[in-house]
Structure 1
Amino acid sequence: MPKQLPRFEGRNTLLSTLSLEDQALISPYTSKVSLHRGMILETPQRAVECLLFPTSGVVSVAVSSEHLMCTIETGLFGFEGMSGASVLLNAKVPSTYLYVRISGSAAKIDTTAYKGLVRESWTIQRHFLKFTQSLITQTAYNAYVSRFDNIERRLARLLLMCHDRVLSDRIDITHQLLSKILAVRRSGVTVATLALAGKGLIHAERGEIHIVDRSGLEKLVGNSYGPPEGEYNKLFKL
């Protein structure tokens, strides 16, 4: 069976799975911030001022092409992840956008403070880099699914991924936003949503989707969902 992400209610998994010593070191430098849908957390070629560790909500990773005049979303994360990959990898600036897709909250650490913490404890950096590895795995599967799965299966997988990251069976998301994330026409999302609802897997209302039968969604998507989540659990021994 696919392995979904374990839930640390109200907490960020990366911060919660640090050693007790590193948690004590990093805690005084964290503050709580709100994440509102539509917020742009990172922009290419602009230095990252802080690292964010979501405790709720969903953030997407995206690339934009001026030539093609489009934006493609390549990955997402919530309470299991963090922003600031360019800081972890010692790059001067990020190469992707980060958008808040589902509102929530996060723990915030200023970049300058984080760099000082890493000088005190190299195990903090090593711990957070594991998330980068898991996100690479997710991105690879996203590319595979986009190439070989139909819209209905892709939508089902996306809903499972969002369901992992919200502490409710109700997902606040619109057809318009789903079409952006999946890079398909809104009409295609509408047809796929009706198909999933017709199978009794979800219930759709204006601006939100209710998960009715999670196991049915997992059965529908098969191996397209699960391996990246299993990789994350393995990396963090969850």
Structure 2
Amino acid sequence: MAPEDFARLEPHLEPIALQLREVVIAADAAVDELFFIETGMVSISTAHDERRIEVSLVGSEGLVGAVPVALDCTTTPHVHFVQLAGEALSIGRDALCAALAESPTLRRLLLRYVHSLIVQITQTAYAHASLSLESRLARWVLMCHDRTEGDELVLTHDFLSMMLGVQRAGVTLAIQNLEGAGRIRAKRRRIEVLDRAKLLALTNGSYGTPEAEYARLIEGA
């Protein structure tokens, strides 16, 4: 973000704590507040009959609530909830929209981020439709690893079953298979990444495209 654009936002940013499993944007509720993630992760998921399936992740690279606000929508059908506790900077919708109206460079940056997030969602659809459970798990582990300091990830089997859209028993078997191949080490409520290259080899192209788009459009801007 250009220094002059950050200066527009800075007076309106409020530090907040992100609590595990906290819903920061509810389905079909007004998106009045957005969140720049400092640490932690927020999941964007579909919700039907109390069942959630994750469609994308936002960490310190992104802005929670970006899609509906950038596209001038007041609500979203997706649930945004904290998958990994941390900290964020919140900003009101009106303050962000005022800054976007004043700054073409800030609006362009936000739309580029929205594009990269949409690419991530389409890759998730491809993974769910085409890949084995182990491949999908490898992709999510890599994505979480990108957004976490160190090699240990706080990922419970319950969260993983939601992320992958499968029963908990399937997650347990997939973790055992990845661990047996030396890709990860499973611990209580944690997964340690041992070999990213081996995980990447399992993803069949479902990991890498959104990351490359983000690097090209945001980091290279």
TM-score (norm 2): 0.94
CA separation in 2, counterparts of 1:109 and 1:94? Answer: 17
1:164 equivalent in alignment to 2:146: yes
3-state SS of 2:45 partner: strand
1:23 equivalent in alignment to 2:13: no
- Residue 237 of structure 1: how far off its partner (Å): 4.1
- Residue 123 of structure 1: how far off its partner (Å): 2.3
Q: Who is 2:56 aligned against?
A: 75
CA separation in 1, counterparts of 2:212 and 2:101? Answer: 31
CA separation in 1, counterparts of 2:158 and 2:85? Answer: 16
CA separation in 2, counterparts of 1:184 and 1:60? Answer: 16
1:56 equivalent in alignment to 2:61: no
CA separation in 2, counterparts of 1:98 and 1:128? Answer: 18
Identity across aligned pairs (percent)?
36
Confirm or deny: 8 A CA contact 2:185 2:192 kept in the other structure.
Answer: yes
Matches within 5 A, 1:137-156: 137-156=119-138
CA separation in 2, counterparts of 1:215 and 1:193? Answer: 17
1:108 equivalent in alignment to 2:90: yes
The amino acid that maps onto 1:156 is: A
CA separation in 1, counterparts of 2:206 and 2:101? Answer: 39
The amino acid that maps onto 1:70 is: R
Matches within 5 A, 1:159-198: 159-198=141-180
CA separation in 2, counterparts of 1:100 and 1:36? Answer: 7
Q: Who is 2:18 aligned against?
A: 35
- Residue 194 of structure 1: how far off its partner (Å): 0.8
Matches within 5 A, 1:226-237: 226-237=208-219
3-state SS of 1:156 partner: helix
CA separation in 2, counterparts of 1:237 and 1:43? Answer: 30
Structure with more contact order per residue of length (Cα contacts < 8 Å, sep ≥ 6): 1
- Residue 122 of structure 1: how far off its partner (Å): 3.1
3-state SS of 2:192 partner: strand
CA separation in 2, counterparts of 1:199 and 1:122? Answer: 49
Matches within 5 A, 1:80-95: 80-84=61-65, 85-95=67-77
- Residue 30 of structure 1: how far off its partner (Å): 1.1
The amino acid that maps onto 1:177 is: F
- Residue 142 of structure 1: how far off its partner (Å): 0.6
CA separation in 2, counterparts of 1:47 and 1:207? Answer: 33
Determine which of 79, 83, 88 is the counterpart of 1:97: 79
1:46 equivalent in alignment to 2:29: yes
Structure 1 residues not aligned, in runs of 5+? 1-17
CA separation in 1, counterparts of 2:52 and 2:90? Answer: 27
CA separation in 1, counterparts of 2:80 and 2:63? Answer: 11
- Residue 93 of structure 1: how far off its partner (Å): 1.4
- Residue 178 of structure 1: how far off its partner (Å): 0.2
CA separation in 1, counterparts of 2:87 and 2:219? Answer: 25
